[in-house]
Structure 1
Amino acid sequence: MPKPPAWLSKDAKAVWRSVASILTVERKTLTEGDLGTLESYCTATGTVRETQRVLSRDGVVIVNAKAELKRHPAIGIQNAAMQTARLCASELGLTPVSRSRPSVRAEEATDDDDNPLAI
């Protein structure tokens, strides 16, 4: 299993260890070409967790310098990170929909030794 990059946050490294284990040990689908997508997924998921801690501490509404109530800026950051995480999760086959695609199921079920067309 590949080690997480040193520059990842603590949260992102925890996600890396969990997901890399699933993709390398259980499914045997992680390739070197997937590492960038995995890094993006872990970074985004780590950002979601970090922004949630900020929002839990500060609340989703803040008071600006003019004493107006405004949406906390972390909400926008969190939403963007969630979108990135969802896209990367789909690419990595980590969502129920991406796992249900026929091509993914066929790859998981195929044993190349039994396939007369395998090279």
Structure 2
Amino acid sequence: MKGRKPKLNMIEGVAAGRCPSPPGGLEAHGAAEWKRVAPLLQGRGHLTDDTLATLESYCRAVGLSRIYNEMMATEGHVLATEKGLVTHPAFKMLMGTMREARLLAAELGLTPHRRGSGDGAEKPTTDKWSGDLLA
């Protein structure tokens, strides 16, 4: 083929052109998130041996948050007890897993703010606000 060839990055410990399979212990929602996110990370050259554990933790948190959300969707967000109405216990667990998933997503560069342009150069802004104020 004519033209400029794309820059290829070899990732140590990961087969070229193929993402690693989800770990066996992930439940269905977590495995689905792995299959969605792992190719994105590999395409950016961010899927290395040292990020696999972070990716697994992120997928576990996403999977658990979906399980807790489904639990509350079927049982309700408020439960009737002998002491009256109380918040479903899964609500607190959902908030914790969502917070953990958000932090891990930022660590992996999966959030729009963290993703950026990837070239390390800052884009010039035309607004009056300093970027430091919004960080």
Same fold (TM over 0.5): yes
Root mean square deviation of aligned Cα: 1.5
In percent, how many aligned pairs have the same letter? 39
State the number of aligned residues: 103
1:2 aligns with 2:20: yes
Deviation at 1:27, TM superposition (A): 1.3
SS of the residue corresponding to residue 79 of structure 2 reads strand
1:105 aligns with 2:119: yes
1:85 aligns with 2:101: yes
Q: Take 2:119 and 2:54, find their aligned partners in 1: how far apart are those partners?
A: 21
Please show how residues 9-28 of structure 1 align to structure 2 within 5 Å. Answer: 9-24=27-42, 26-28=43-45
| Counterpart pick for 1:41 among 52, 58, 62 | 58
Correspondence for 1:61: 78
Q: Take 2:97 and 2:115, find their aligned partners in 1: how far apart are those partners?
A: 22
- Structure number with the higher helix fraction is 1
Deviation at 1:105, TM superposition (A): 3.2
TM-score norm. by structure 1 comes to 0.81
SS of the residue corresponding to residue 105 of structure 1 reads coil
Q: Take 1:67 and 1:16, find their aligned partners in 2: how far apart are those partners?
A: 41
Q: Take 1:48 and 1:89, find their aligned partners in 2: how far apart are those partners?
A: 14
TM-score norm. by structure 2 comes to 0.72
SS of the residue corresponding to residue 39 of structure 1 reads helix
Deviation readout 1:17-54 (Å, 9 max, x if unpaired): 11001111x21211110011101100000011111111
Q: Take 1:5 and 1:40, find their aligned partners in 2: how far apart are those partners?
A: 11
Deviation readout 1:85-111 (Å, 9 max, x if unpaired): 0000000000011112x7x4329xxxx
Larger of the two Rg values belongs to structure:
2
Mapped contact 1:99–1:105 kept (Cα < 8 A): no
Give unpaired runs (5+ residues) of structure 1.
108-119
